[in-house]
Amino acid sequence: MWSGYAGQETFFNLSEGVPVQLSQLCTSGNGTVSENPGTNEAEGDGEAGGVGDVTKQLEQQALEDKEREEDGEEDGDEGENSAGKKKKKKKKKKGLKGQTDPPSVPICELYPSGDFPKGEECEYPPSKDGRSAAWRTTSEEKRALDRANEEMWSDFRQAAEAHRQVRAYVKSWIKPGMTMIDICERLEDCSRKLIREDGLKAGLAFPTGCSINHCAAHYTPNAGDPTVLRYDDICKIDFGTHINGRIIDCAFTVTFNPKFDRLLEAVRDATNTGIKFAGIDVRLCDVGETIQEVMESYEVEIDGKTYQVKPIRNLNGHSIGQYRIHSGKTVPIVKGGEATRMEEGEAYAIETFGSTGRGAVHDDMECSHYMKNFNVGHVPIRLPRAKHLLNVINENFGTLAFCRRWLDRLGESKYLMALKNLCDLGIIDPYPPLCDIKGSYTAQYEHTILLRPTYKEVVSRGDDY
């Protein structure tokens, strides 16, 4: 090994400790350095070339030695340079923890500071008389009110970021040929990890809806359901996450056949229109009218037949309360309906459904979704099995929706009679699948919005929709 300092003419053969003049070094034919004292063959051009090559090699080696020393990789046991020097440790950069593939790192660990990504912030629409709402963004009073509720907004944002990452993951692998049970369980497993499920403090807000074709909502497979997703299916993926009962209700539609693209465009446009017109002091019926106008402006051609896209008139958006997915106010998707106004501080699910059928849904198929009645008081229960089941529901779901698969997951069995008894008593409400006429196709898009004092925040907005 040859070592030395750049700019010196004398180098040392470390194996023997003998000084060697630069003129005594040359390169052999294979490019290696050799010692050649006592010969004059390396004169003229040959000498110049040999010395130049050796100099470059020594300079390169010096640079490499310096880099190793900076990285803390110097051995420190050879030559004068190592005497009395301590080994340097490489400093690790501190930064945000990265997400894995597939996602498994909880959102709270990705953002340890608690500063979760905001959704899309929009100015409120101008009032009927044309007055702008831009003053809200600069008003110190409204800013103070906004800051006062920062903990609540942060819970929504954490749940929304989990939703964004889960749906991106689902879109990467969902394909024809998969069973609906497999799709739902993979989605829910990922969602539980990212939200860091913790009893009623954090978890899934309601069962994963994966309604297909003419079925518009509230379908999730029960145990043993053999349904398989096909290439010509149109599937609505509707799932929710929550932190401390602050629910993100957000949905999108999955298709593989491009013949449905125009239908998806119509419903996505209608949902975005509803979001645009929603705001503080806006009448709910006015939002519904604008949604219907946009939805019905679309025509789609599917399998050689042309349809006008119809909004499903008996499906609506809704206000969202803490641990309460439907908290009292309804956002219609057709004209008419309530003249009630949206209010500051509220959260809403703006969702629209478009159909090639009648534009109305009815209960059909086997029920899978259930939810405890939010307003139910004390009701005497005679059946011991029903009492036990209610305790399980209260402990694990509270007033959040659940499905039979989730009861199976908790180890419950032979509970159907007890569940029916709780439904008959009005303690639990069943929510069967909602379907338009057979042979029709339905699509859905949905976002959660926050009516903050300063901005309207589309908290679940992502790069995908």
Query: Annotated binding residues for a divalent metal cation, as ranges?
Result: 238, 249, 318, 351, 446
Place of tokens 């086997």: 366
Q: Which of 225, 265, 326, 344 is catalytic?
A: 326
- The residues, any chain, with a CB within 8 Å of residue 340's CB and separated by 6 or more, are 283, 284, 329
**Sheet strands side by side (includes 2-3):** 2-3, 10-13, 18-21
Tokens standing for residue 377: 């008081």
Decide if 163 is catalytic. no
Burial of 260 (0-12, 13-18, 19+ CB in 10 A): buried
Q: Give the H or E element holding residue 295.
A: helix 284-295
Residue ranges at the known binding site for substrate: 218, 326
Decide if 408 is catalytic. no
CA atoms within 13 A on the CB side of 162: 36
Q: Which of 238, 269, 436, 457 is catalytic?
A: 238
Q: Which amino acid is at 108?
A: C
Decide if 238 is catalytic. yes
User: Do residues 25 and 36 touch, judged by C-beta distance below 8 A?
Assistant: yes
DSSP state, residue 234: E
Helix, strand, or coil (residue 153): helix
Decide if 225 is catalytic. no
Q: Which of 249, 286, 436, 457 is catalytic?
A: 249
Q: What's the rounded Cα separation, in Å, for the pair 178 and 327?
A: 35
Q: Pick from 234, 259, 281, 260: which is nearest to 124 by CA?
A: 281
For the beta carbon of residue 138, count every other beta carbon within 10 angstroms.
Answer: 9
Q: Pick from 425, 391, 420: which is nearest to 404 by CA?
A: 420
CA atoms within 13 A on the CB side of 426: 6
Is the alpha carbon torsion for 64, 67, 72, 76 positive or negative? positive
Residue ranges at the known binding site: 218, 238, 249, 318, 326, 351, 446
Decide if 326 is catalytic. yes
Helix, strand, or coil (residue 32): coil
Which residues are part of the catalytic machinery?
238, 249, 318, 326, 351, 446
